[in-house]
Structure 1
Amino acid sequence: MKKCLLILFVFVTFKCAAQPYADSVYNPHIKTIEFYNTKKQASFPVITLQSGEQVLLTFDDLRGGSINYYYSIEHCDSKWNLSNISAAEYLKGFQEDRLTDYTYSTNTLQKYTHYELKLPNDIIAPKIPGNYILKVYEDGDKSKIILTRRLYVLSNRVGVSADIVSSNDPSLKQTNQKINFQVNYSGLNVQNPNADIRVLLLQNARSETGIWSNTPTSIRGTQLIYNDVSINDFPGRNEFRRFDTRSLKLNSERVGHIYRDTANTVVLLGDPLRNQPGYSFQYDNDGNFFILNTEGSEPRRDGDYAHMYFSLAANKTDKEGAAYIVGKFNDYKTDADSKLDYDPVKGRFFTNLFLKQGVYDYEYVWSDRGTGKPDDIPIEGTHFETENDYQLLVYYRPANARWEELVGYRLLNTVKK
């Protein structure tokens, strides 16, 4: 009896301690992860069920050689916890497969092996809509996981319309962007709209700044209306900073110096504080990055790596908090790898990152020592005029169902109507 209670205690403790899945890298040798719908590079990783659409996963292993990588996908709820269903209910084919598409780098100072995977494929394919977590791991051992990516599988069963307007709060009109939207669920059997449907809004595909809408402002027939003055109000933030290292021979945008010896070193021009009241337009890629190489023929195979040196004048010190550099290239993680050091003599924060050639968007995030809350606005500023993408995702859980489905998706842009 005691042994049974101990096993039950361990199981309950593990279940309670489980964390939602996120886009993460668990091995420092794994670099340059791309994951997107093959229709457009760097796009949001959403595919329509049984449409023939695929997502492409690519990554580099700096250890070189070939390693036995395996992959699997698992169904999750809207909050990225594993669904309580068997693999047979959400998968066609097998539960895991070996990753066999890889090539070795050529003509690069940094040697690496480049891996690619397309999903769905003849071996593994989702059977039902919803959130899926893609796991890649070594030797068929899921305890040796190297990365995870979030995959969105859509069954278009609702209509979505939306508008982007300025904030209803007079004090936020110059800084914020508000999204009003409607969901038409006539194609669904909805008994309780407040419980059966929930909507997630993402700005530039960033989950850490997402906003949930679980209760509609009003219901008109089969149309749910979300337009309350106090909801879905996002800081517009600022256009992303960017740099261009398509060439490691010629200085280009934001590049101060390039050194080539046993390794590539790129010193970028110093970055100023941008938390100013006036908006200044500059083109960006909404936080994304693109692997490009002007001296080669296939950037994913002959693009080289370089130590990129960044410096920031933030009018703050490390006694007040910590500065981080983030973008899609590091999944917007504010961790030890993205944290900047502080030079009290120069009064600047600095760091270096080991990145592959290409065009990168990035920004700085400040974590105040008092609150400990990461926030990009103290360094980057926020403006209503900023060009942003918004992803609107509609989830549906029928009464007594054991999983949630993704039944609606809409991509919005503040400039493109």
Structure 2
Amino acid sequence: MANDYVLVGAGLFGSVFARQAAEAGKRVLLVDRRSHIAGNCYSERVEGIDVHRYGPHIFHTNNERVWEYVLRFTPMNAYRHRCVVRHGERLFSFPINLLTLHQLWGVTTPGEAEAKLAEVREPISQPSNLEEWILSQVGHELYDIFVRGYTTKQWGRDPKLLPASIIRRIPIRLTWDDRYFNDRFQGIPENGYTAMFENLLDHDNIEVQTGVDFFENQKELEAAGERLVYSGKIDEYFGYRFGALEYRSLRFETERVAGDHQGAAIVNSADVNVPYTRTVEHKHFAMQTSENSVITREFPQAYKPGGEAFYPIRDEANTALFEQYNQLAKTTKPGVLFGGRLGSYRYYDMHQVIAEALTAADRELGVPTPLRRSA
């Protein structure tokens, strides 16, 4: 047995775990069914522009350990995300902030904004779903403009059927601060995400094999190492024994255009009758000016077996189903470590996956977890 670890999935969880194990002197084989490393973070340079092939990835965290870890493998630029929402023929600042409320209602101070919001909020003391929560915060007009259509398209179901945790990720501010994220540390890898992963996996103890399907080679791969680390879909690993977990997927349409298409990295399309959720103009992540540009439109769609599972749908039924798989993993596969967005069935951001991988590696390798951590 040549390897200490066989890792399935060359995204963030698998790659970070591989690096930590390699630096601890362990031999690692990392495989991925795709033809490239970096998972959904994969970027590709087109006409000098780093294109995020699986949707935009904006790094942000308050976790100092995670930030310092990332900086080992890439310099980060100073990008701060500010979103624009198109609804009908109007454009709005997003997330909801004082500028948004000025554009909509003409208010100019936090006090005026709070007074207006107090008029329109729905008196729901214990919101039980996404729709009820946002109505209790901003009322029907803002919900209809910014949330209802976009969310229905993104998740393929009525917002009443979704957990409030999805929308609570987005701040609501009564100041002129229009940044999307509150985190202390933010940015985009200066040389693209793929280059960051290449540096992350550049270690003598790591062997990377792409274009390798785990299930077509499961017997050989499980025999190739003492321990398996799996960051794919946990339900698929167990042959969908209890049924399939639900995910949302995406389809991308990318084209090269002349000039500056929209003047922002992301413009959300909130109308439910517009089939895509957002248009991404990639060069703005690097704050580039160029004669040409590359844009991508994102079309949410139902996940189908064999496709790409992007977003776990953690409603009550799917959460209960995941717990069945989680218990099955603990009782029947104690030698397999599951992690990442698909292995943990959680709607993780990048920094959360890195933190999960670092913590799992600390535990696995017997390394004391540093005390200097923040959420």
Note whether the superposition's TM-score is higher than 0.5: no
Which structure shows the higher strand fraction?
Answer: 1
The alignment's TM-score, normalised by the length of structure 2, stands at: 0.26
Q: Give the TM-score, by structure 1 length.
A: 0.24
The higher-RCO structure (CA 8 Å, 6+ apart) is: 2
Asked which structure has the greater CA Rg, the reply is 1
Name whichever structure is richer in helix by fraction: 2
